[in-house]
Chain A
Amino acid sequence: MIDLVSKRYLFFLISGIILLPGVVSLVFNGLAFGIDFTGGTSWELQLQQRVTTAEVRDVLSEFERGDSVIQLSGDDVVLIRTRELPEGSAEKQEIAAALQERFGEYEELQIATVGPTVGQQIRNRAAIAVGLASVGVLLYIAWAFRNTNNPLLYGVCAIVAMLHDVLLLVGLFSILGWVANVEVDALFVTALLTVIGFSVHDTIVVFDRIRENLARRVAPTFAETVNYSIVQTLVRSVNTSVTVVLTLLALYLFGGASIRWFVLTLLVGVIAGTYSSIFNASQLLVAWENGEIQRLFRRGRGPEPRARTA
């Protein structure tokens, strides 16, 4: 049988290396929040002629909105992100008229406006939602594993693995915001919460096997039991991940442009979730049960705790 558990520090290292660029970007660039969180207007127009961002910026500058973010998708679809420009306001009508004069008739694909106070509310709710999801899942796992030696430990390890996935995605979007102007919006938070659900879903399947194998006493030590359980569930973890990835890939390639980043978030999150449930969550259980984590915090204080088996 493959011995995965003895290589646990290699897997922790790999996770660290993967997380590092995102964390660095997060520290230096932060996140580019979209209008859902900061307030402002996002306006998508289908023109009947080719334009450049400079031409559009020209028009917007007349209204002291030259600092807007302007992006093209294809040659004739313009996405303008600017400070609040309410529907029905005189200013919006003037800008619309100016754009029409310069580029001819256009079709308004979509326009969304969020007031600054609403943005603040949404940001708070998003943070609360992620927090609630973590606590809810932690409590549920602790309850589901109440017959084991240390039910809370399973919950904590699942949450650590989940936070690994969340950090990876947040870091990725920090990088994307920096290199490709991708913004964090409400859909990103939706994807994040879905990944939380999926990551924990995956972890529980492995934990469930560990619980069962502990009861059946299939191996002499805790580490060996965990390793045996991981190997048993490995094919299932990979197969499930592959089917979900296939459906998401179909969505990414054929689905609409407006949910492309949303789908990409899910895609990366699902892969990360599978990795972390196999290589982080279960391995953390072993590291804790062997007293390795406690040793990190108790260095130089008294004798080291004995490695024990469950």
Chain B
Amino acid sequence: MRSSSSIVLVAIAILTLVATWISLPSTFLNIANAKDELYVRRGLDLQGGLQVVLEARPPEGMSVDGDVLSGTRDTIERRVNALGVGEPLIQTRGNNQIVVELPGLTDPEAAIAVLRQTALLEIIDTQGQFLAVGTRVNTSLGPAEDTASSAAPELGGTPEATLPADPTPQGDSTPATEVTPVPTPEPPPAVLGPTYTTIVSGRDIVDAFPTQSELGQIVVGFELRGDAADRFFDFTSQNVGRPMSIVVDKTVINSAEIRDAISSQGTISGLTAQEVRDLSLQLKSGALEVPLEVVQSRTVGPTLGQDSIDRSIVAGIVGLALVAILMILYYRVPGLLSVVALLIYASLVFSLFKLIPVTLTLAGIAGFILSIGMAVDANVLIFARLKEELRTGRSTKAAIEAGFNHAWPSIRDSNISTMITCVILYWFGRYVGASIIQGFALTLFIGVIVSMFTAIIVTRNLMRVILNVFPIRNAWWLGVEREQATGLGD
């Protein structure tokens, strides 16, 4: 018993040291730059930024399904990456919404204008060149600078130069009353280079899907409309053996060699399964040109965020100190040990926040601070039992074991009910301002699990070892008044 407790205690000590090392700022003991990736992700409300929910509003007669939505999501992701925002979050929600979170963004209006643009998909004649994926090009439907996502087109194969830019919104199919000039802050430099001819555009595509070639390969199959099929046949029959490129928002997403003349139906081969999936989604959503409406948005300025962090830190320290004082006054030696366990708890939870990583929001911090209070509960349950066992006249050692064993069912059952509500909260949060409520649910959930661990493993082994080294004879130190130590009068 004694030796196994000591081993556990050493393991706890090592775990605590590692957790503390992770929890401390990345400038502290950054061995081999191992901590470069470890930092607290701050949510929108803590660092400022923009959250937008876009809803697909397909024109009459069209419908949006999961595939099209995924393709649109990928397009938006590419545009967001071009905006250069750190840690964007872009996810689909339900069957017609896309949630975009852009932390640290300073110009929300410009960003919204960029996000709302309808994606323009083109297949271009590259005049024999093989264009690398990511290359920005001018096409016969318009030069590259027309899409506001063209920030910093520093790509291989295109000479660097500037052209007078003319930022007019393109493909914006919303009613005129809602259209405002796109406030592109600084028109990005245009791409100098040839203007490639667009053979077919997104609206010429009837359908696209992953399928199998005769050789059993996974390929992208696509189908074109009548007149486009004629144009495409003319082009492909004249260019067998030469490349063509698929372009979305003037950025090349795929280049392929033409093997054969293609009319209304064709395939694109030589891709991995993942690439096939992505490209067919792209073609499919490009075919629809789905207009997007902003149905929900939230912008938080950076000042409010910093103020919130400062205040929460103060609140956390005050809360922790109050709890520590109460625990020590009421439970004495076990109380002191539980405060040590609580500090270990805080360091474990915080390092988990960095490792997972959890995006911390204001509500999330509240969840963390609340979980400190709840973490104490497991200890309170155990110590209350301990006191009872001592009063029935058991030895200190037996009382500790009995106290822990009897407290366990209540700790387990009560925490499971909290976890059930956390899971439901997380689900609810997905439909409401995404990160704010989810952050709260996640931090509370992690807090509950870690608190069970610290109470059962950490506090228990601390008590075993401490009481072995310093056997306490006077029950006062364990929070029991002398006259009470004779048993409860029942």
Taking the closest CB of chain B, its distance from the CB of A247, in whole angstroms, is 4
**At the interface, yes or no: A62 with Cβ under 8 Å from chain B?**
no
B425 and A109 within 8 A (CB): no
A239 and B330 within 8 A (CB): yes
Taking the closest CB of chain A, its distance from the CB of B78, in whole angstroms, is 21
A198 partner, pick from B366, B418, B424, beta carbons under 8 A: B418
A1 and B178 within 8 A (CB): no
B425 and A236 within 8 A (CB): no
A205-B414 contact in complex given A190-B363, A236-B380, C-beta closer than 8 Å: yes
B376 partner, pick from A140, A235, A243, beta carbons under 8 A: A243
Per-residue A-contact encoding for B194-233, CB less than 8 Å = 1, 0 else: 0000000000000000000000000000000000000000
B362 and A259 within 8 A (CB): yes
A129 partner, pick from B294, B410, B428, B433, beta carbons under 8 A: B428
A150 to B369, CA, bound (A): 37
A118 to B432, CA, bound (A): 9
B372 and A235 within 8 A (CB): no
Enumerate chain B residues within 8 angstroms of A110, measured Cβ to Cβ.
45, 298-301, 304
Per-residue B-contact encoding for A246-260, CB less than 8 Å = 1, 0 else: 111111011110110
Of the candidate stretches B16-24, B80-88, B311-319, the one touching chain A is: B311-319
Within 8 A of A (CB), among B316-374: 316, 318-320, 322-323, 326-327, 330, 362-363, 366-367, 369-370, 372-374
**At the interface, yes or no: B113 with Cβ under 8 Å from chain A?**
yes
A248 and B373 within 8 A (CB): yes
B363 partner, pick from A1, A44, A46, A187, beta carbons under 8 A: A187
A244 and B180 within 8 A (CB): no
A305 to B295, CA, bound (A): 59
**At the interface, yes or no: A200 with Cβ under 8 Å from chain B?**
yes
A244 and B432 within 8 A (CB): no
A201 and B425 within 8 A (CB): no
A251 to B112, CA, bound (A): 34
Enumerate chain B residues within 8 angstroms of A251, measured Cβ to Cβ.
312, 315, 319, 366, 369-370
Smallest CB gap from A252: residue in B = B315
A89 and B178 within 8 A (CB): yes
Taking the closest CB of chain B, its distance from the CB of A161, in whole angstroms, is 12
**At the interface, yes or no: B108 with Cβ under 8 Å from chain A?**
yes
Smallest CB gap from A42: residue in B = B298
Chain B interfacial residues counted at CB < 8 A: 78
B421 and A259 within 8 A (CB): no
B420 and A86 within 8 A (CB): no
Enumerate chain A residues within 8 angstroms of B303, measured Cβ to Cβ.
46, 107, 109
Of the candidate stretches A119-127, A165-173, A278-286, A292-300, the one touching chain B is: A119-127
**At the interface, yes or no: B145 with Cβ under 8 Å from chain A?**
no
Smallest CB gap from A45: residue in B = B301
Within 8 A of A (CB), among B415-445: 415-418, 420-422, 424-425, 427-429, 431-433, 436-437, 440-441, 444
A236 to B295, CA, bound (A): 48
B428 partner, pick from A90, A193, A218, beta carbons under 8 A: A193
B424 and A250 within 8 A (CB): no
**At the interface, yes or no: B388 with Cβ under 8 Å from chain A?**
yes
A201 partner, pick from B320, B330, B376, B417, beta carbons under 8 A: B417
Enumerate chain B residues within 8 angstroms of A200, measured Cβ to Cβ.
414, 417-418, 421
A109 partner, pick from B112, B301, B440, beta carbons under 8 A: B301
Enumerate chain B residues within 8 angstroms of A115, measured Cβ to Cβ.
55, 293-296
Taking the closest CB of chain A, its distance from the CB of B394, in whole angstroms, is 16
Enumerate chain A residues within 8 angstroms of B311, measured Cβ to Cβ.
254-256
A86 partner, pick from B294, B314, B422, beta carbons under 8 A: B294
Of the four ranges (under 10, 10 to 19, 20 to 34, 35 or more), the interface on chain A belongs to 35 or more
A125 and B295 within 8 A (CB): no
Within 8 A of A (CB), among B284-314: 293-301, 303-304, 307-308, 311-312, 314
B295 and A117 within 8 A (CB): yes
A227 to B265, CA, bound (A): 79
Enumerate chain A residues within 8 angstroms of B108, measured Cβ to Cβ.
87-88
B376 and A240 within 8 A (CB): yes
Smallest CB gap from A86: residue in B = B294
A251 to B314, CA, bound (A): 8
Enumerate chain A residues within 8 angstroms of B425, measured Cβ to Cβ.
129, 190, 193-194
**At the interface, yes or no: A10 with Cβ under 8 Å from chain B?**
no
B437 and A194 within 8 A (CB): no
Enumerate chain A residues within 8 angstroms of B440, measured Cβ to Cβ.
190, 194
Taking the closest CB of chain A, its distance from the CB of B11, in whole angstroms, is 28
Enumerate chain A residues within 8 angstroms of B427, measured Cβ to Cβ.
129, 132
A201-B418 contact in complex given A109-B303, A132-B424, A243-B377, C-beta closer than 8 Å: yes
Taking the closest CB of chain A, its distance from the CB of B6, in whole angstroms, is 30
Per-residue B-contact encoding for A97-139, CB less than 8 Å = 1, 0 else: 0000000000111111111011001100110110011001100
A258 and B380 within 8 A (CB): no
Enumerate chain A residues within 8 angstroms of B432, measured Cβ to Cβ.
36, 122, 125-126, 186, 189
Per-residue B-contact encoding for A148-161, CB less than 8 Å = 1, 0 else: 00000000000000
A197 partner, pick from B363, B381, B410, B421, beta carbons under 8 A: B421
B308 and A256 within 8 A (CB): yes
A62 to B326, CA, bound (A): 57
**At the interface, yes or no: A204 with Cβ under 8 Å from chain B?**
yes
A189 to B429, CA, bound (A): 10
A260 to B297, CA, bound (A): 22
Taking the closest CB of chain A, its distance from the CB of B379, in whole angstroms, is 9
A247 and B180 within 8 A (CB): no
**At the interface, yes or no: A242 with Cβ under 8 Å from chain B?**
yes
Taking the closest CB of chain B, its distance from the CB of A13, in whole angstroms, is 28
Smallest CB gap from A233: residue in B = B384
Taking the closest CB of chain A, its distance from the CB of B282, in whole angstroms, is 26
Enumerate chain B residues within 8 angstroms of A259, measured Cβ to Cβ.
308, 362-363, 366
Smallest CB gap from B50: residue in A = A87
A111 partner, pick from B298, B315, B418, beta carbons under 8 A: B298
Enumerate chain A residues within 8 angstroms of B489, measured Cβ to Cβ.
1
A111 to B372, CA, bound (A): 32
Smallest CB gap from A263: residue in B = B366
A117 to B327, CA, bound (A): 49
**At the interface, yes or no: A262 with Cβ under 8 Å from chain B?**
yes
8 interchain pairs, CB-CB under 8 A: A88-B112, A125-B428, A200-B414, A201-B374, A218-B490, A247-B320, A251-B312, A253-B315
Q: 6 nearest interchain CB pairs? A: A244-B373, A197-B421, A250-B319, A247-B319, A115-B295, A129-B428
Instruction: Taking A251-B312, A263-B366 as given, write out 14 further A-B residue pairs in contact, using a Cβ cutoff of 8 Å, ordered by the A residue number.
Output: A86-B294, A108-B301, A136-B421, A190-B428, A193-B421, A197-B417, A198-B374, A204-B414, A235-B384, A240-B374, A242-B326, A249-B319, A253-B315, A256-B307
